[in-house]
Structure formats: C-alpha cells, structure tokens
Structure 1
Amino acid sequence: MKNKRLKNIVATITIVIFTILMIMPFLWVGQIGVHSDWSFHASRVQQIYLNLQKGQWFTYIATDTFSKVGNANFLFYPSIFLYPWALLKFVFAPVTAYLVYVWLLFLATGLIAFYCMKSFTNGNIRQSLLFAIIYLIAPYHLYLTLSNYVLGEAQAYTFIPLILLGMWNILYRNKWIMLAVGMSLMAYSHYVSVFISVEVCFIMLICYFIQNQKVEWHKIINLIKAMVLFVLLSAWQFIPLFTDYLHGDLMRPASGFMLMQSAGDFIVSAISNDALNRGGIGLVLLIALIFGWMFIEKNSRYTWVYIIGVIITLMITTAFPWQYFANTPLSIIQFPYRYTSYAIAFLSIVLSKALLKLNYSTISTNIVTSVILLAFILLYAGSIYSDIARNKNTDNNVAILANSRQGKYKTLRDPSDTPIILTNTSYNKQFSYGALYGETDYMPIAAFKNWKSIFNRVTFINNKETKVLQRSGANKLIYNINLKESSKVDLPALAYRHTSVSINNKVSNYKVSDRGTVLLKLNRGKYKIIVSYKPINLLLIFRLIAFIGWSGTILMCLFRYVNKRN
C-alpha cells in the first residue's frame, strides 16, 4: 500500500513538473503573438477583472470592453472558468497572468486525465501517467491554448476524461454521479462541446448495446439520474438562453459545416505534429490510429475504445458524409475538427495501453517510462516551435500593437487575422480596439445592421448626432444629458429583453430604437441615465440550487471516500 501511495505521489509530481516545463518557454519569451479568438476572450476577462475591482462578482454586460455598448455575451457564453485568469491579473503582469492561467489548465487537464485513467484501469499508475502526458501534448490541445486561444474548447478539453469515465461508470459500474459532474463542468466551459459530448456518450451506448445485445433498465435509470443532477448543477447557466436569447431577435452563431479537412490534409497535419493550423491528433496518435489494433486484445474494452476512436477520427474529415446532415441539429457544431479532442482522448487510451508492452527484461520499467516521457518532451518542443518563434518575433515579421486607435471604430487586426505582438506594457491598449471575432455575437439583429454608429458610440437626439458624456460602471452605462427641449434620445446602449433603465435614480420605461438600442422620450432638463441588466429571480434561484447541489455532491463523495478508506 505504501509503495502504491509513493508511486501515486511520484506520478502526480511528474505531471506538475511536466506542465511547468510545457509553459516555461512561453514565460521566458515574456510576450505573445495573438490572433483568432484571443480578442474575444481577453476582452471578456478584462471586463470581469474590472468588475471585480469594483466589487461586482457577476458580469452581465460589457461596459468597458466590446466598444462599451453593453454587449451581453456574458449571458449566453459560459464565463465561470475565465475567473481564474481574471483573478491572476491581480497578482501577475497581464501576459504572465494568461500564461500562468494556461499552466493551471494544463495541470488540471493532466491530473484529471491521470486519475480518470487510474479509475478506468483499476489502479494502473504507469498507464495512467502515460495517458495523461499523451493527452496533454496533443497538438490540438496546444492549438486551443497557446496557438489560437480557443479558450471555451480548451476548458472543455480538461473535462472530457471525466465524461468518458462517467459514461463507463454508468455502463459497467452502476455509478452515475461522475457523468453528471463532468457534463456540468463542460456546460460551464463550452455549450457546443456539451452537444458533442452527448453524441459521444450516445456512440458509447450504441457500442455497449451491440456488444451485450440487451437493454438493462437500471443503466437507463442511472442515465436519467445523471441527467437530473446535471440539470440541478448547471440549469442556471441556461436561464438567459431561454429568457433573453430564444425570445429575443439576436444574432445567432451560423450553423453548418465549415473549414472541413480532407483525409489527406488531416494526415499531413498529424504528421507535421505542429500546434498551428488546427493542430490535429499529432504523429504518435496517428501511429496509434493506424497500428493500434495490433496492440490490443480482441473483444476487450480496448477494442471498443479503438473502434470509437476510429469512428470519431473519420468524423473530423470529409470522409464522413457531412453534406447529408447540413439541415439537421448536427450542424450546430459548425466545425467538424471540434471532434479532434474526443478522438485524442480515445486514441490516447489505446496508445497508453500499447506503450505498456514496451518492457525489457534487462531494463527497469522506470527507465523505459522515463525514456518515453523524454521522447514526449521532445515531441512537445517540436509542436510549439512555430508558436515560440511567433511570440519571440526575432525577425520582426509580426506586427506590434500600435497606440490606441483614434477616431472611427477599428478591430484589433484586419480580416486577414495575422498575429500581433502583445507585451506586459502594451497589453491594455488592445481594449480600445474592437474584437476581430465575437464583437457582434449575441447583439440584437437591428443593432448588427447599424453597428458602425453603435460601435462609434453615436447618440442621436431628435435624429441628430450629438456628443454625450458616457461613463462605465460595473454592469452599467452612465450618461449625463442636458436637454434644452423635449427630445427623443437614442443612446448607443444595446437593448436586451431584461435591460433596465433608470433616469435620475428612478426605474423608467424605454422603447427599443430602429437600431436595437435604448430609446427614451424626455422633457427639457438635466438627466443622469443608467442603462444596466437586471437578472430575473429565476436565475438567482437556480444559482442557489446549483450551490446546494454542488455542496451536497461533494459532501456525498467525501463521505463515500472516507467509508471506503475505513
């Protein structure tokens, strides 16, 4: 028992050290080349950070970022796992804070992967460690975190092992809590990944029925239990989707299948083992995909793991007939390459099993494992080389963030989406620009059609452009207006279903203008107008339910653990 505990500690320390080694090259450079989804997530974190400074824990609308017009993407896109990054900004310089945040993501991903595999293998520490490292260094994971900054998916990637183990527990162990917890944490990260996770669980369920050729109702009941707990733990996240999104005339993400890879491009991407250009499964997992069947016992659980890994890998490419599903709910995924995370998980299980066979009678198992880990470090170093070179900018071929924009609205980068260098000193300049992607997400459609005047914060008084003093508070936009006559005042503040307006400290009614903004009819006089968002009581109630649910779930798991130890 003591020997096993020591091995657990060594494996945990190995993951900690390995993740530190993963982030150190980026910390040494001290600056980052950003593009793609960066400006969207960085702007959201900046708003959370500024609101925390003002003592406001919950952020509903953007008042200091996203052009200061009250964009409510916080209501419709999960943000809870952005809070660690925002809190780190109180301790570290901005670029350093982000890189420490990525390290925490790496550490959580590695430890969750390790302990999930340890449960799946009934305590095989060596296989669990190998699985965790393979899962960590997959190029697509690096693409999400350090290359293109696709943070919703990056957070979701952390919890995929929990979901796979949770589904396994339901099918083979008569346990159901893990799946509910994993799905809830996924919902706190990325909604589309929840949808894909449901698909993957369904595939696992079908494979189970094919293998066993019978329906066991107690497993279906356990699935229902998991669904109920999932609703209790995560329903609060979805309340604004029902109250404001589905019943509002808002911009919605486009459905369909875009940026699809041919099987040939997929293989070339995997061989390159590079984190850029959507990463891919990487070289070692390509080998597992092609030769994995040779290293697993027939009709074992690994056979089904391998089969599902192959199926999901095909779903990444045009080899899967996506064109026939263009008008189905499957089109919500947008990019089939999003299945890469799940293919990586299944193929990493197969590869970790195959690597256990690398044993030699004359060489210690620990030495063999150390050599494998060293090889993984070298593979990782090759994967991140392009990103390190971009961030270093030694040849000055990457643009450097200029001074804050002057005059009309401009995005951080042009539509070509080439990278731009941020340093700790220039970091905050980016927020005077608009986000290249995500700036118009979840805006009222009428506002999207009139985005130029809104993003330039133009106020119309009696249909004439007028300069109005605007200030930003936590979840509120403040305007001071002095009217010399009765007027129609069209403020550059987006109007949502539960937007609230107060005039001279009294809650007032308002209309929605033709450009999807707050429209007021005011008499002559001086006015202090505050535009904010008022969450409905149902959201607050379900937050409380989630808190109670998490507390009860954690206490129940601790109680079971203590009883098992005794």
Structure 2
Amino acid sequence: MTFVYTIVLLHVGQLALTSDSSFHFSRVEEIYRNLSEHHLFTFIASYTFNHTGVGNFLFYPDVFLYPWALLRFWFNPINAFIIWYGMFIFATLAIGYYSMLDFSKSKTRSFIFAIIYTIAPYHLYLGIYNYVLGEFVAYTFLPLVFLGAYHVFWKDTQKWPLLAIGISLLLYSHLLSVYLASLILVCLLLGKLIVQRNFKLERILALGKSVILAILLSSFILVPFVTDFMNQKIAAPKGGFFFLMTAQQLIDPSISNTIAINRSVGIVILLTAFLGWYFVKENPRERTIYFIGLILLCSSTTLIPWSSFKHNTIILNIIGKIQFPYRLNSYSSLFLSATASLGISQLMEHTNWKYPKKFVWVAFVLLSFIGYYGSIQPAFDRIIAVNHNFLTKDKGNLISLPINALINKSNYNNIFSYLVLYGETDYYHKYPAKNAMAYNQSIYN
C-alpha cells in the first residue's frame, strides 16, 4: 500500500516548494554535507542558512532527518525526499495498526484505523503539500503516546514503557507536539480524577517511571535545549493564536477531502464527527474517545474564542505556545479515526454482504487509494500551475525563496542560494524588534 501511495510521486519527480519546505530541505542538506565529510553530528549551519552558523539543529530535533540525508547517497534529492516520505507513511500505518490492535484486539478494526488515520488529509497536508515535516513526523507516533497513556491511566500499568517511548519519539520529532500532547494528557488525567476520584499508587508509580524513562531516552535533545536555549536570549517563533478558522471553514474543505488547506480533516473524519455517536452510544470507553475527538475538532475552530485570549497573559503563556489552533487537527484525526474504524468494522462484520468478505476488503483498499490520490491532487495541480518555471539560482540578492518554486533533481541545489522562506532567523540571538531587520541583514552579509 505504501508503494501505491508513493509511486506516482516518484514518477512525477518534481516538487513545488512552499511554507516550511526550504527550512527542512536546508537542514537535511546540512546533515548530508556533514555526513559526506565524515562528521556524524550537526549542530550549526555552516553551509546552508547562508553560512550563518545558526544553531537550529541544537533546538529543533533532527534525528528523523538522518534517514533522508542518508538516502541522498543513493538517490537523487527529489526521490530521496519521496522515499523518506514513504517511510513515514509506512511507519504510520504500522504503528497505527499495532496501537489499535493492542487497544481493541481486533485485526479488522486495526487495519481500518491504520488506513484512515494515515491518509487523513491533515496528515498529508503536513507531509506532501506544506512540508511541515516536524509535525508530520510527530503525527506518526501519536497513537503510541495515547496508547501508553491509556494503559498508565486506565488499563495495564505493566505497559508503562509505551508512554515513555511514545513521548521520547515525539521529542525527537517536534517539541511543540510534545507540549500539545502533554496538555491533552494533563486534561485526560484531570478528567479521570474528577470522574473516578481515584488514582491508585501503582498508576502513580507507572506514571513516574514513564516520566523518568522519557527524560533519559530524550536526554540527547533535552540537555542542549536546557543548557543552550533556556535563558540564553535565543529567538524563537512567536506565540499566540493565528490562522483562526470558523466551523464552516473547516467543514467546506473537509467535504472536498482536499489537502490544499490546513483546515481540512477529510470527509471520513467529518462524517464521523456527525454520525459517530450512533456506534459508541452503548460503550462508555468508545463514547469517551468519540467525545474527546469531537471536542478537539471544535477547539480547532473559533467555536473556542481564541482571539479573546490574546490579552490574557496566563492563557497566552500556557496555550499560546501552540500558535495555530488548527494543529489540534492531528489529535482530532487520531481520536475520530478510532471511532470511524469502530463504525466501519462493525458494518463489515455484522452486515450480510452479497459478496465474500475478501471482496469487501479489496473494495475498501481500492477506495483508500482513490481517496488518497483524490486528496493529494492539489499537490500535482500546483506543479502544473507553476508551468515549468523552475527555480533559478539567486545572484546574491539575499531574497527569500519564491513561493511555489518548482524544483527537480537538476536545479535542487538552487534552493540554498536563497533565504529560507520561513525560519531563516529562528534561533538567532534575540534583538529589539525595531532593529531586527538591520541586525539580521548584517549577519547574512
């Protein structure tokens, strides 16, 4: 299935870059250059980011970029990225299947969940349309995090290492995803304490052991973050609530199942939000999962008055770190995919089909292929719209990479002659805003 999901992308052999693309492609290029010169670790940018020595490798996790950099030794740059993308599509399928199988003990439901969760439009938007690759990698490990939390909070405390491993994998992917997942876990824990009014000693010990193991496993990224970032006057992306959307702005693109916009969660997730109650009404555990997904989906829109929190220092300092409420789409996709898999598996197992069940499975898989390529069609349309205007090399003007710049294996290196579109100055030393532009320019020069 992963092969089918990626083969057309390999055949096209072109990418239209936008948003975070040049940031991550530059980071991979730096790692690749260092590996070529037999240096295993990369901490500062000496080749990319205009040779400025910016330390984003210290503070923005890069472990999962190493497979991509290694692929560069055997494949052209475009194919290396697409194969890397395929690796994480496969990993998401595998982890999704494993997590749901552990949770539900149903192979049918696990297979359905893995597919729905993996090809959810918001996931594909992160990976192949807007290149928000830190969050894209983190999405892979979310099922493991919440499976671990389920065992620690409610089920088998002997499986506490799952939570530690899941959180550690998140830390090596995207720090903000750890923060957001932790906020949700805290809310779940508070909800358990309010409803059940107990938290047994064995669960407290399991949670404590998970925290300690997660810190130990993640020390490679946590230590430099604590020693070199905190209280060191390093600039970081601004907090707040941006790119707010109404419920209608979520519904419309979701109906079309497109990945062309960050507001889309897809038709399956949207239908589950409206109809999922029917499948969970008799099961308290499944009902809880459904309502968590529904709350998170609503919270990604202006049904929560995010703009009114901009002047509340406490809320801004706690929740404002997420920057974009639509980031909750990763988590609503997880929980509502679980509900969708329950509903579809029940229909498959309890309906007297006219055809053998194998044919039903084949039809489901074929529908997933159709849905997947229907979703990512905007990625191809954008390449066509650029009309073969391939990215040329900048002549030293120090301008940002053009939006929707078209690249192939021949002009790939032209990316690095431009300023990174978003993130060039992230992790510079803090400087007064009124002088920041001149300060940054002096560093480029």
| Shorter-chain TM-score above 0.5 | yes
Structure 1 counterpart of 2:135, from 129, 153, 178: 153
- In the alignment, structure 1 residue 209 sits paired with structure 2 residue 201: no
Say if 1:398 and 1:419, in contact at 8 Å, map to a contact too: no
1:427 corresponds to: 412
Structure 1 counterpart of 2:237, from 247, 250, 253: 253
Report the secondary structure of 2:16's partner residue: strand
Structure 1 counterpart of 2:107, from 109, 122, 125: 125
- In the alignment, structure 1 residue 445 sits paired with structure 2 residue 430: yes
1:560 corresponds to: none
Q: 277-286 vs 189-198, which deviates more?
A: 277-286
**Cα deviation digits, residues 488-538 of structure 1 (max 9, x gap):** xxxxxxxxxxxxxxxxxxxxxxxxxxxxxxxxxxxxxxxxxxxxxxxxxxx
Q: Distance in 2 between matches of 1:160 and 1:93?
A: 31
- In the alignment, structure 1 residue 135 sits paired with structure 2 residue 127: no
1:551 corresponds to: none
- In the alignment, structure 1 residue 378 sits paired with structure 2 residue 345: no
- Deviation for aligned residue 1:334: 0.3
**Unpaired segments ≥5 residues, structure 2:** none
- In the alignment, structure 1 residue 316 sits paired with structure 2 residue 300: yes
Q: How does 1:132-281 map to 2 (within 5 A)?
A: 132-170=114-152, 171-174=154-157, 175-278=159-262, 280-281=264-265
Report the secondary structure of 1:56's partner residue: coil
Q: Which amino acid aligns with 2:196?
A: N
Q: Which amino acid aligns with 2:407?
A: L
Q: Distance in 1 between matches of 2:184 and 2:362?
A: 33
Say if 2:117 and 2:334, in contact at 8 Å, map to a contact too: yes
- Quick one: structure 1 residues 56 and 316, their matched pair in 2 at CA, closer, same or farther if it must change by over 3 Å? same
Report the secondary structure of 1:421's partner residue: strand
1:352 corresponds to: 341
Report the secondary structure of 1:33's partner residue: strand
- Deviation for aligned residue 1:297: 4.2
- In the alignment, structure 1 residue 84 sits paired with structure 2 residue 31: no
Q: Distance in 1 between matches of 2:382 and 2:254?
A: 21
1:104 corresponds to: 87
**Cα deviation digits, residues 119-163 of structure 1 (max 9, x gap):** 0012x1111000000011111011011000000000100000000
Q: Which amino acid aligns with 1:339?
A: L
Q: Distance in 2 between matches of 1:292 and 1:28?
A: 38
- Deviation for aligned residue 1:300: 2.7
Q: Which amino acid aligns with 1:400?
A: F
**Cα deviation digits, residues 15-49 of structure 1 (max 9, x gap):** xxx11111111111111111110000000000000
- Quick one: structure 1 residues 302 and 38, their matched pair in 2 at CA, closer, same or farther if it must change by over 3 Å? same
Say if 2:254 and 2:265, in contact at 8 Å, map to a contact too: yes
- Quick one: structure 1 residues 271 and 132, their matched pair in 2 at CA, closer, same or farther if it must change by over 3 Å? same
- Deviation for aligned residue 1:212: 2.9
Fraction of identical pairs, as percent: 38
1:524 corresponds to: none
Report the secondary structure of 2:276's partner residue: helix
Q: How does 1:405-484 map to 2 (within 5 A)?
A: 405-413=394-402, 418-446=403-431, 449-456=438-445
Q: Which amino acid aligns with 2:417?
A: S
Say if 2:293 and 2:332, in contact at 8 Å, map to a contact too: yes
Q: 362-371 vs 167-176, which deviates more?
A: 362-371
Say if 2:390 and 2:411, in contact at 8 Å, map to a contact too: no
Q: Distance in 2 between matches of 1:345 and 1:335?
A: 18
Say if 1:269 and 1:282, in contact at 8 Å, map to a contact too: yes
Report the secondary structure of 2:376's partner residue: helix
Q: Distance in 2 between matches of 1:420 and 1:159?
A: 31
Q: Distance in 2 between matches of 1:407 and 1:109?
A: 41
Structure 2 counterpart of 1:400, from 386, 390, 405: 390
Report the secondary structure of 1:441's partner residue: coil
**Unpaired segments ≥5 residues, structure 1:** 1-17, 457-566
Report the secondary structure of 1:445's partner residue: coil
- Deviation for aligned residue 1:396: 4.7
Q: Distance in 1 between matches of 2:189 and 2:366?
A: 37
- Deviation for aligned residue 1:196: 0.9
**Cα deviation digits, residues 232-262 of structure 1 (max 9, x gap):** 1112312222222223222121010000111
Q: Distance in 2 between matches of 1:259 and 1:191?
A: 20
Structure with bigger strand share is 1
- Deviation for aligned residue 1:452: 1.5
Say if 1:118 and 1:128, in contact at 8 Å, map to a contact too: yes
- Deviation for aligned residue 1:357: 2.2
- Deviation for aligned residue 1:449: 4.3
Aligned residues: 431
Q: Distance in 2 between matches of 1:224 and 1:399?
A: 55
Report the secondary structure of 2:336's partner residue: helix
Q: Distance in 2 between matches of 1:114 and 1:211?
A: 30
Structure with bigger helix share is 2
Q: Which amino acid aligns with 2:104?
A: T
Q: Which amino acid aligns with 2:390?
A: I
Q: Distance in 2 between matches of 1:159 and 1:325?
A: 30
1:544 corresponds to: none
Please tell me the root mean square deviation across aligned C-alpha atoms, in Å. Answer: 1.6
Q: 295-304 vs 56-65, which deviates more?
A: 295-304
Q: Distance in 1 between matches of 2:386 and 2:296?
A: 40
TM superposition score normalised by structure 1: 0.74
**Cα deviation digits, residues 392-415 of structure 1 (max 9, x gap):** x2x55464201x2113312212xx
Q: Distance in 2 between matches of 1:356 and 1:74?
A: 43
Say if 2:241 and 2:322, in contact at 8 Å, map to a contact too: yes
**Cα deviation digits, residues 42-75 of structure 1 (max 9, x gap):** 0000000000001111101101000101111111
- Deviation for aligned residue 1:368: 1.9
- Deviation for aligned residue 1:324: 5.0
